[in-house]
Amino acid sequence: MAEFAPVEKQMAILMRGVEFGDEQTRANMEKELRLRLEESSEEGRPLRVYCGFDPTSSDLHLGHTVPLRKLRQFQELGHTVVFLIGTFTGTIGDPSDKESARTQQSLEEAMENARGFTRQAHRVLDPEKTVIDYNHRWLEELDFGGVIRLASNFTVQQFLARDNFNKRHATGEPIWLHEFFYALMQGYDAIMLDTDVQIGGTDQLFNLMAGRTLMSARGMRPQVVLTFPILVGTDGQMRMSKSTGNHIGIDEAPGVIFTKVVNLPDHTFRNFAELVTRWSQDEIDSMMMAMESGALEPQAAKRALAEEIIGIFHGEDRAKQAAVDALRMHEGAAPSDAPEFELSEEMNLLELMSEAGMVRSKGEARRLIDQGGVRLNGAAVSDGVGTLVAPGEGESVLQVGKRRFLRVVAAK
C-alpha cells in the first residue's frame, strides 16, 4: 500500500496558484480534491491526474510549462500522471482563446509534432512516472451516434455564452460547428481516461467542466478540475502562443531566451515570476516591493528572471553564461557560442554575409543594411559594397539583427 504525505500538506502544494475567477467553483473543487486525497491516503491508491496538450507545433513554450509543473507536483506526491497528446483534438483546433476559427492540421502532422512534445515534456515531468497517451485512439473510433449522444448533454446557448463565441456572434464572425465539438471531445477524453483530476488554464474551464458533465451522464464520478492563470506572451498582452509569435520556447538557445525575457514589458514580471520560476511567493513579493520603491530596477529584476528560467531548462552554468553573453552583445561583442567564419581573402560585406549563410541572398543583405540592421564591430553599416573585411586584421564581429552574430577570423 502506497503512503502519501498528509492531506493538508498536499492541499497546500496542489492548490497554490489555482485560479477559477469564481469563489464558489474554487470552494467546490477544493472540497472535492481534499476528499479524493483523503480516500487516496486511506486506500493507498494514487490519484489519476491528466492534462491534455494539442500538438499544434513541435515545440513547447513557457506557457505549456505552467500545467506541466503542477503535474510534476502531483508526481512528486506519489500520484499517477497522464500526459495526453491531443492528436485528434489537435486536428480540429481549440477555440477557447480564439476570436476566429483555427487552422486545422492533419493527423500525420499532429503525430509528427507529438514526438517533439514528448521529448520536451520530459524536461519537466519524470519520464519514468509519466503515462503518455494519444486521444486519436478513441476519438477516431467514435461513430456519429456517439457524437449525437455527447452533444445531447449541452445547449447552443451554453456555447454562445462563452466569451470568445459571444464576441464572434456579435460581430458576425463565423462560428463553425466543428468548434462546438471540441469541448465534447475533450470531455470524452476524461471518460476514456477515467481520471480523478484534470488540470488546465483558466481559458479551459468550460472544456474541463464539460468533462464533469459527460462523466456524470455516464454514471461516473465527475473529475476534479484545477485551472491556472494564463502566461502572457512577449507582447505583454496576449496569451503566449507560437501561432502569434509571442512565445519563448523551452528548447530555444539560452541567449535567445535571455534576450526575450529582458525585453518583456515591465508589467509582466509578476505573471512570469509566479508561473514559471522556482521562487517562493515571499521572494516574489519582496522583489515586487523593491521595484515599486525604486530599490530594484526592472531591468535588473528581468535579468534575474531570465537567469532563473534558463537555469531551469538549460542548467545554472548556461544561465550565467547567457547573462555574460548578453552584456557582451550589448557592448557589440559576439556571444560565446557565435559561429566562426574563416576569411582567406578580402570580401565586401554583401559577399561575406552571403558566403557565411547569414542571409538567403545579397538582396536580403542589402535590405537589412538599408534598414540599419547590420553592424560591424559595433558600428552600423550603411554600404554593403564599400565596406570591406580583410584577413589578418584580427577578429571582426558581424551582427545581423538583434541575435545573429558571426566571428570573422583569418584562415589558418
Domain CATH number, residue 389: 3.10.290.10
| Cβ–Cβ under 8 Å, residues 258 and 322 | yes
**Is the same domain home to 99 and 199?**
yes
Q: Are residues 173 and 133 in the same domain?
A: yes
Residue in the block written with cell 552584456:
327
CATH number of the domain to which 265 belongs:
1.10.240.10
Domain count, the chain: 3
Q: Are residues 36 and 134 in the same domain?
A: yes
Could you tell me if 166 and 114 lie in one domain? yes
Q: Of 228, 243, 262, which one is at a domain's C-terminal end?
A: 228
Residues 67 and 122 both lie in one domain: yes
Report the DSSP beta bridge partners of residue 348.
388
For residue 357, the 8-state DSSP code is T
The Cα–Cα gap between 331 and 378 comes to 7
CA distance 118 to 251: 13
Rounded Cα–Cα distance for residues 55 and 268 (Å): 26
Are both 402 and 294 inside the same structural domain? no
Residue 121 belongs to some domain of the structure: yes
Long-range CB contacts for residues 237-244, cutoff 8 Å, separation at least 24:
239/63, 239/97, 239/203, 240/61, 240/62, 240/63, 241/61, 241/63, 241/97, 242/56, 242/57, 242/59, 242/61, 243/56, 243/57
From 71, 82, 74, 96, select the one nearest 185 (Cα to Cα): 96
Please list the pLDDT of the chain residue by residue as tens digits (412 residues): 678 899 999 999 999 888 988 899 999 999 999 999 999 999 999 999 999 988 877 678 999 999 999 999 999 999 999 999 988 887 775 555 444 444 567 778 888 888 878 888 888 999 989 999 999 999 999 999 998 999 899 888 888 877 777 788 788 888 778 778 888 999 999 999 999 999 998 888 888 999 999 999 999 999 999 999 889 999 999 889 887 888 998 888 888 888 889 889 999 999 999 999 988 889 999 999 999 999 999 999 999 999 999 999 888 888 888 777 776 665 555 666 677 777 777 788 788 788 878 888 888 888 888 888 888 777 788 887 777 777 766 677 788 877 677 777 777 7
Q: Are residues 129 and 150 in the same domain?
A: yes
The answer to the question of residue 297 being in a domain is yes
Domain that holds residue 121: 7-228
